[in-house]
Amino acid sequence: MYILKDIATFIDAELIGDASIKINSLATSFNAQKDQLTYVASNKYKSDLPTLTAGAVIITKDLLKDCPTNALVVDDVYLAFAQITHYFKQPPTYFDGVHTSAQINSKNIAKNCTIGAHVRIGKDCTIGANTVIEQGVTIGNNVIIQPNVTVLQNCTIGNNVSLSAGVVIGSEGFGNALDSQGHWHTIAHLGNVVIGNDVAIGANTVIDRGTLEDTQIHNGVRLDNLVHIAHNVSLGENTAIAAGVTIGGSVTLGRRCQIGGGAVIASHIHLADDVVITGASTVDKHLDKGRYTGFTSISPHSDWKRTQIWLLKLDKITQYLNIQLKHLKGR
Site residues for a copy of itself, 108-167, by CB under 8 A, read 108-112, 114, 126-130, 132, 134, 144, 146-150, 152, 162, 164-166
CA 274 → CA 35, 234, 239, 240, distances in Å?
40, 15, 8, 11
CB of 216 to a copy of itself, least distance (A): 18
Catalytic residue among 185, 189, 218, 231: 231
User: Can you tell me the distance from the alpha carbon of 261 to that of 298, in angstroms, rounded to the nearest whole number?
Assistant: 16
DSSP 8-state code for residue 171:
E
DSSP letter for each residue of 93-126: P---SB-TT-EE--SEE-TT-EE-TT-EE-SS-E
Q: Which stretch binds a copy of itself (CB under 8 A): 3-11, 29-37, 49-57, 253-261?
A: 253-261
CB of 95 to a copy of itself, least distance (A): 6
CA 314 → CA 294, 297, 303, 304, 310, distances in Å?
19, 19, 16, 15, 6
Does position 233 interact with a copy of itself (CB under 8 A)? The reply is: no
User: Can you tell me the distance from the alpha carbon of 247 to that of 283, in angstroms, rounded to the nearest whole number?
Assistant: 10
Choice between 15 and 104, CB closer to a copy of itself:
104
Cβ atoms 183, 167 nearer than 8 A: no
The alpha carbon of 290 is separated from its chain's Cα centroid by a whole number of angstroms, namely 25
Does position 30 interact with a copy of itself (CB under 8 A)? The reply is: no
Choice between 212 and 231, CB closer to a copy of itself:
231
Size of the site for a copy of itself (CB under 8 A): 109
Choice between 36 and 85, CB closer to a copy of itself:
85
User: Can you tell me the distance from the alpha carbon of 58 to that of 31, in angstroms, rounded to the nearest whole number?
Assistant: 15
Buried b (16+ CB within 10 A) or exposed e, 163-180: bbbbbbbbbebebebeee
CB of 162 to a copy of itself, least distance (A): 8
20, 91, 100, 180: residue in contact with a copy of itself (rule CB under 8 A): 91
The answer to whether residue 118 is catalytic is: no
142, 198, 270, 272: residue in contact with a copy of itself (rule CB under 8 A): 198
The alpha carbon of 115 is separated from its chain's Cα centroid by a whole number of angstroms, namely 25
CB of 69 to a copy of itself, least distance (A): 33
Cβ atoms 149, 131 nearer than 8 A: yes
CB of 109 to a copy of itself, least distance (A): 6
Choice between 68 and 290, CB closer to a copy of itself:
290
9, 12, 62, 97: residue in contact with a copy of itself (rule CB under 8 A): 97
Q: Which stretch binds a copy of itself (CB under 8 A): 30-38, 45-53, 80-88, 172-180?
A: 172-180
DSSP bridge partners of 177: 185
CB of 246 to a copy of itself, least distance (A): 3
Burial class, 305, CB count within 10 angstroms (exposed 0-12 / middle 13-18 / buried 19+): exposed
Choice between 27 and 217, CB closer to a copy of itself:
217
Burial class, 186, CB count within 10 angstroms (exposed 0-12 / middle 13-18 / buried 19+): middle
Does position 325 interact with a copy of itself (CB under 8 A)? The reply is: yes
Does position 197 interact with a copy of itself (CB under 8 A)? The reply is: no
Q: Which residues are catalytic?
A: 231
